[in-house]
Amino acid sequence: QVQLVESGGGLVQAGGSLRLSCAASGRTISSDAIVWFRQAPGKEREFVAAVGWTGGNTVCADSVKGRFTISRRNAANTVYLQMNSLKPEDTALYYCAARFGGSARYYSPNEVAFWGQGTQVTVSS
């Protein structure tokens, strides 16, 4: 069983940056795809970005492409989401999730088994 803990969220002005971390414990996540999702109030959980187990490939949702970057540091058992040029519509609870052996592709929430508790990102205009 793997436990995931997100951190790095907070309140930031539009145009600002945040770096989210997803730290894993219980086992290594070096063989997992790690996926970031977000959920705004009253909306469904949506895919943000994914990094494959090799770390060499990543994919981002169109809404964040060019602004967000996902990366992983297997030695630290941690995945990061660098978020630049933040917009008010990026405001949401951000979750990381793991899928063993997964590749860098779009994921729906029901395709991943392990979830963190989420970290809140609020972007003010």
pLDDT in tens, the chain (125 residues): 899 999 999 999 999 999 999 999 999 998 899 999 999 999 999 999 999 987 779 999 999 999 999 999 989 999 999 999 999 999 999 999 999 988 999 999 999 999 999 999 999 99
CA–CA separation, 123 and 83 (whole Å): 11
- How high is the pLDDT of residue 68? 98
- How high is the pLDDT of residue 8? 98
- How high is the pLDDT of residue 47? 98
84-112 burial code (b ≥16 CB/10 A, e <16): eebeeebbbbbbbbbbeebebeebeeeeb
Encoding tokens for residue 93? 């609870």
- How high is the pLDDT of residue 9? 98
Which tens digit of pLDDT belongs to each residue from 65-97? 999 999 999 899 999 999 999 999 999 999 999
- How high is the pLDDT of residue 102? 87
